[in-house]
Amino acid sequence: MKNTATSFDPSLRPVQRSESKLFFRVLRPTAVVGLLLFFPACSEEEEKEKRAKLDELVEATSPKGAYEQACAVCHGPEGQGNEEIGSPSIAGLPGWYIAEQFRKFREGKRGAHRDDTPGQQMRAIATSLSEEQIKEASETVSQFPLILTEKPPEEANIEKGRILFANVCMECHRYNGKGEVVFHSAQLISLNRSYIRRQLMNFHSGRRGSEPGDITGQKMVDVTSRLDEEDIELLVDYIGALAHGDDPRPARER
Ligand code: HEC
Ligand code: HEC
C-alpha cells in the first residue's frame, strides 16, 4: 500500500510519460466507474438516514410499554435497580417468581408491615396496576439480561460463607443460587448486596414473611431466626462469590 502511494507522489519524482499514459488508460476510467458506483451508494446512505429518522419518530410517538411506563422510573431502564430508593435489580428474575411476588404484594403478604417502607412503595405500585399491565411488565423484566450480584470485597471470608450457604441455604436455593420453582425459592445471584442484606434482616425481624398465610415467606423467617448479623454479612459476601462462579457443593457436611 505504502509503496504504491509513494511511487505516485509527484513531490517525490517528476511524472513520467508512461505514468501519465497509465492515468488516462487505467486510472481515469477507474475513477469514472468509481464515481458512478459512489452516487447510488450515497443515495442509499440517505435512504438509511431517512429510515432511522422515521423509526425514531415512530418510537417517540408510539405508546410506551408497560415496563417503561410503570417500572423504569424506580428499577431503571434495564431493570438494574436504584440503590438510593432501595429498589433491587430485577433484570432476569424468573417469570414465576415475579408473578408470585406481585400476588403477595397485592394480597398484603409482602410490603404491608408498617416498618417496611421500600416494601410499601412496591406494594402501592402492585395494587395500582391491572393484571395485564403486570403481566406485560413482568415478561419484559424476565427477558432483560441478568445483572450479577457485585463481587465481594477482597477481605471477605468466603470460606465461612461457603460453609453456611452449603449447609443452610443450598437445599432450597440450589448449588448455583438460581432458585427452584418447586420450592418457590428465589434466584439470589442477581440481587444487589444491600438488597440481600435488607431482605435477610426483614425475614429475621418478621417485616417480611410473617403475615398469616405466607407459607413460603415463613420458611425464610424460620431459616433467618437462626442467623445473627455476622452470619448475614458472611452470606451477603458469599452470594457475590457464588454469582461469580464459586462452587459450594464440596462444603456440604451431610
Ligand atoms: C416507586 C418505585 C417502584 C416502582 C414504580 C416499581 N417498583 Fe418494584 N420495587 C420497588 C422497591 C423499593 C422494591 C423493594 C421492596 C422490598 O424491599 O421488599 C421493589 C421490589 C420489586 C420486586 C421484588 C424483587 C425480589 O427480588 O423479590 C419485583 C419483582 C418488582 N419490584 C417488580 C416491579 C415491576 C415489574 C414494576 C413495574 C410494574 C415495579 N416493580 C415498579 C420500587 C418500585
Ligand atoms: C426451606 C427452603 C429455604 C431455605 C433453607 C432458604 N431459603 Fe431463602 N427463600 C426461600 C423461599 C421459598 C423464598 C421466597 C420467599 C417469598 O416468597 O417471599 C426465599 C427467599 C429468599 C430471599 C429473598 C429473595 C428476594 O429476591 O427477595 C433471600 C435473600 C434468601 N431467600 C436467601 C437465603 C439464604 C441466604 C439462605 C440460607 C441462610 C436461605 N435463603 C435459605 C426458601 C428457602
pLDDT at position 164 is 98
- Span 2-14, pLDDT tens digits: 444 444 444 444 4
Least confident of 57-71, 112-126, 150-164, 212-226: 57-71
CA distance 201 to 196: 9
Choice from 220, 224, 235 to test ligand 2 binding pocket (greatest atom count within 8 A of CB)? 220
Query: How would you class 91 by CB atoms within 10 Å of its CB: exposed for 0-12, middle for 13-18, buried for 19 or more?
Result: buried
Nine-digit cell string for 64: 410506551
The domains located in the chain, with CATH, are: 63-147 (1.10.760.10), 148-254 (1.10.760.10)
155: CB partners within 8 A, 6+ apart: none
Nine-digit cell string for 177: 443460587
pLDDT at position 40 is 52
How far out from the chain centre does Cα 149 lie?
Answer: 10
CA distance 167 to 163: 6
- Span 130-173, pLDDT tens digits: 999 999 999 999 999 999 999 999 999 999 999 999 999 999 99
Task: List ligand 2's pocket residues with C-beta within 6 A.
Answer: 168-169, 171-173, 183-186, 188, 191, 196, 199-200, 209, 216-217, 219-220, 223, 235
Nearest bound ligand to the CA of residue 211 = 2
Nearest bound ligand to the CA of residue 168 = 2
